[in-house]
Chain A
Amino acid sequence: MDLDKKQATRQSAGEKLTSLGEKNSNIVVLDADLAGATKSNIFAKKFPDRFFDMGIAEQDMIATAAGLATCKKIPFACSFAVFATGRAYDQIRNSVCYPKLNVKIVGSHAGVTVGEDGGTHQMLEDINLMKGLPNMIVFSPADDLETKWAIGEMARLDGPAYIRTCRLKTPIVYDENQKFEFGKAIQIGNGTDATIFATGVTVAESIIAKENLEKQGINIRVIDIHTIKPIDEDMIIKCAKETKHLISVEDHNIIGGLGSIIADVLSEKYPAKLVKMGIKDEFGKSGKAEELLKNYEIDNTAIEKKVKDLI
């Protein structure tokens, strides 16, 4: 991991959409008056005829994307995660997932790391909303390369898909040799003292915690869950068997997020205790992203402390 090189996953998504657009003329992009922030404007500049700014009208954006999908287009509908999944939930449910249309939803600015915009804009329930929909695939990538891979997978796979990206610039976790596989989590390290299941911005935080713990003789592993649905059950069970403690950490409500999904798997397949770190069923608030990660105890310091408390 390169701590000094950072990029926001929203930027990676915008760049990848544009390179996909060069190869495939069926790729079209929609936005709802946030193209500059979601970075769909990179695509818009290059392919103005295949970009549709729907104005502040997310319901119509998703419905229009559904219509385009019926005509063999591959629409990517972009907005902040809070609006893309919240305002248009009914259209995603009834017009996209129910008919299993090939619509891709890009929810940027997920989690408290939105920062200053505060609780109204910090989406902490999107994983919960999207994972509960039949036919929906859910990605939550951790860095630049992983986001670009996930956007490519969304275009490749037929059917509804959601990706959660972030505003905050986060460390580059992977180099170009890293292999990504749909539905297969990535194991970082072989420690057996504890497993940290992480997703999105908490992956880098977990890796920092892992490195700090190693210096103190505590060996853990980090599992990057880039595909939230379908979840990698085998990896969860393997870690439950091999490590002493299980922790999940996410920039999302602990109700209905990554931790809940892992707990679902454990309770049915391999009962084990899971400690869930995340936003404890409350809304976000305005502040600097780094301060908020600390405040909500999902930064590397909090993760390190949690591991030590458990051991």
Chain B
Amino acid sequence: MAIASKLDGRGYKVYCIVGDGEIEEGQIWEAMMTSVKYKLDNLCLIIDNNNLQIDGTVSEVKGALYPLKEKITAFGFETFEVDGHNIDEIIMTLQKVKQVKGKPSAIIAKTIKGKGVSFMENEVSWHGKAPNQEEYELAIKELNEMGE
């Protein structure tokens, strides 16, 4: 999509959100090389780095993914790190990304899986599970309280 934007001179930007477990796949790193080769400064990769995947923490399952920022920078990206729960910081960083020329950008967003719901936070068992009615109501109550 980012290549098509350049081909057609349409000038739109592409934001691609991936999980930290997902980027253990080789395809992601193939795509990173392609993005650098074609100088896709209209592409911004956003990595949701909560350090959890289905079999456990990313550090345990495939700790060699770290140090992540250094790896992505070495691939040729302009790389940023943000607190993924701080909206102001995210907006500020996206503004910086717009100034990057000649290469793609990556934002590593440090996050906590299930943040704001006490019984879900950092619990990998919630990776692909829906809450029951009781859990749902409790979760919404906690999120509403946090929002106030």
Contacts and interface: CB of A to CB of B under 8 A. Distances in A.
Interface of A: 28, 49-50, 52, 54-55, 57, 59-60, 63-64, 67-68, 70-73, 91
Given A49-B7, A71-B8, A91-B27, A60 B34 contact: yes
Contact of A67 (B3, B30, B33, B37): B3
A68 B27 contact: no
Dominant secondary structure of chain A at its interface with chain B: helix
A23 to B, nearest CB: 17
B1 A59 contact: no
B26 interface: yes
A70 B1 contact: yes
Contacts of A60: 27, 30-31, 33-34
Given A67-B3, A71-B1, A59 B27 contact: yes
A73 B27 contact: no
A46 B2 CA distance: 23
Interface residues of B, number: 15
B4 A68 contact: yes
B31 A64 contact: yes
B5 interface: yes
Nearest to A66: B1
Interface of B: 1-5, 7-8, 26-27, 30-31, 33-34, 37-38
Nearest to B27: A59
Nearest to A50: B7
B1 A73 contact: no
A54 B3 contact: no
Nearest to B12: A71
A71 B5 contact: yes
B4 A59 contact: no
B3 to A, nearest CB: 6
A64 B37 CA distance: 13
Contacts of A64: 3, 31, 34
Nearest to A67: B1
B34 A57 contact: yes
A187 to B, nearest CB: 43
Nearest to A57: B30
9 contacts: A28-B7, A52-B3, A54-B30, A59-B27, A60-B30, A64-B3, A71-B1, A72-B4, A73-B4
